[in-house]
């Protein structure tokens, strides 16, 4: 039986003490153990941000891409080897800002990926500017008078895009988040796990106590995540009450990979390309 430290590298985390990234890091390791994984059983693509430093602390195959671009890298890896479990570890600025177009395309396509978004409402790595999920009126380094834009609602957007697995966790509840990650990985299709992750340095409003006073689990009320309209209604709930858990799940929708006849018999990475010539193709475009 593996232990969480088996997934630690020799590098020590450099996140601020109390950062929500620690909770997500721990939940990932716990999920790997419960799924019986080793350090070579999955591939993780990281974006740019405080979350991206996890590539240095989590001992499993990984790649850190460009800001806003972890999802297309993950798509490429998945299409090359659709038998491989591929996870995206990204942030709210990374994939709800710069990379929002890639997120919406991936949800529409229903690639078999698990996308874990560190959502702390700020750009923590660049010292606390407001992110696309920042509440209206939120004061930050870039908005000292308060944010004037309406925040993006990633869960409502994903539901509207026919997402097949939409969920929300909390970095301060590792047990619940671990289960969400396992459910997301086991789901056949694109799994969005939005994680409320306090930034203890640059956001003094959305603290652990602030979330704990408001968060409730959907499953505690015997909620069934098959009603899209109800899921959309719950996705709009924010403020005095904040739901967590699986909002919507569609297990009937085929994945992008299942729609590709080229992948029916074997993975692309398993194919012999030694006798393939592209000379005619190159001549055509020369």
Q: What is the CATH number of the domain that holds 267?
A: 3.40.50.970
pTM of the model: 0.95
- Number of domains observed in the structure of the chain: 1
What pLDDT score was predicted for residue 140?
87
Which of 79, 69, 68 lies closest to 111 in space, CA to CA?
Answer: 79
- Strand pairing report for 85-91 and 114-119: parallel
Instruction: Return the CA Rg of the chain.
Output: 19
Alpha-carbon distances of 265 from 8, 79, 188, 260, rounded to whole Å: 36, 13, 18, 10
Range of the domain at 10: 4-285
207 pLDDT above the threshold of 90: yes
Cβ neighbours around 285 below 10 Å, total: 5
What are the CB-based long-range contacts (under 8 Å, 24+) for 143-151?
Answer: 151/121
Tokens of 206: 């959305």
Is residue 120 within 8 Å of residue 131, measured between CB atoms?
A: yes
Residue 1 has pLDDT above 80, yes or no: no
The backbone torsions φ and ψ at residue 157, rounded to the nearest 5 degrees and listed phi first, read: -65, -45
List, for residues 80-106, the tens digit of each pLDDT value: 999 999 999 999 999 999 999 999 999
- Asked if 242 and 215 touch (Cβ cutoff 8 Å), the reply is yes
The pLDDT assigned to 221 comes to 85
In percent, how much of the chain has pLDDT > 90? 88
Instruction: For residues 174 and 245, give the distance between their C-alpha atoms in angstroms, rounded to a whole number.
Output: 13
State pLDDT tens for residues 144-182.
Answer: 999 999 999 999 999 999 999 999 999 999 999 999 999
Q: Average pLDDT of 128-143?
A: 91
């Amino acid at each position: 039986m593996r232990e969480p430290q088996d997934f630690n590298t020799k590098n020590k985390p450099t996140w601020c003490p109390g950062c929500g990234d620690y909770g997500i890091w721990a939940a990932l390791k716990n999920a790997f153990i419960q799924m019986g994984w080793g350090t070579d059983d999955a591939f993780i693509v990281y974006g740019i941000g405080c979350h991206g430093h996890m590539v240095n602390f989590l001992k499993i195959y990984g790649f850190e891409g460009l800001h806003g671009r972890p999802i297309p890298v993950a798509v490429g890896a998945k299409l090359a080897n659709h038998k491989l479990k591929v996870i995206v570890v990204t942030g709210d600025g990374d994939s709800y800002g710069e990379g929002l177009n890639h997120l919406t395309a991936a949800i529409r396509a229903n690639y078999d990926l698990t996308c874990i978004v560190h959502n702390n409402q700020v750009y923590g790595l660049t010292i606390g500017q407001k992110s696309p999920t920042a509440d209206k009126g939120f004061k930050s380094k870039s908005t000292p008078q308060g944010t004037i834009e309406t925040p993006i609602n990633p869960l409502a957007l994903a539901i509207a895009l026919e997402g097949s697995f939409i969920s929300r966790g909390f970095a301060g509840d590792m047990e619940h988040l671990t289960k969400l990650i396992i459910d997301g990985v086991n789901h056949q299709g694109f799994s969005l796990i939005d994680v409320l992750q306090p930034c203890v340095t640059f956001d003094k409003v959305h603290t652990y106590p602030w979330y704990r006073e408001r968060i409730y689990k959907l499953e505690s009320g015997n909620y069934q995540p098959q009603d899209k309209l109800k899921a959309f209604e719950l996705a709009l709930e924010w403020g005095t009450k904040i739901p967590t858990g699986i909002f919507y799940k569609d297990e009937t929708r085929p994945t992008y990979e299942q729609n590709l006849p080229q992948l029916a018999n074997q993975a692309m990475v398993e194919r012999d390309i030694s006798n393939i010539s592209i000379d005619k193709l190159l001549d055509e475009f020369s």
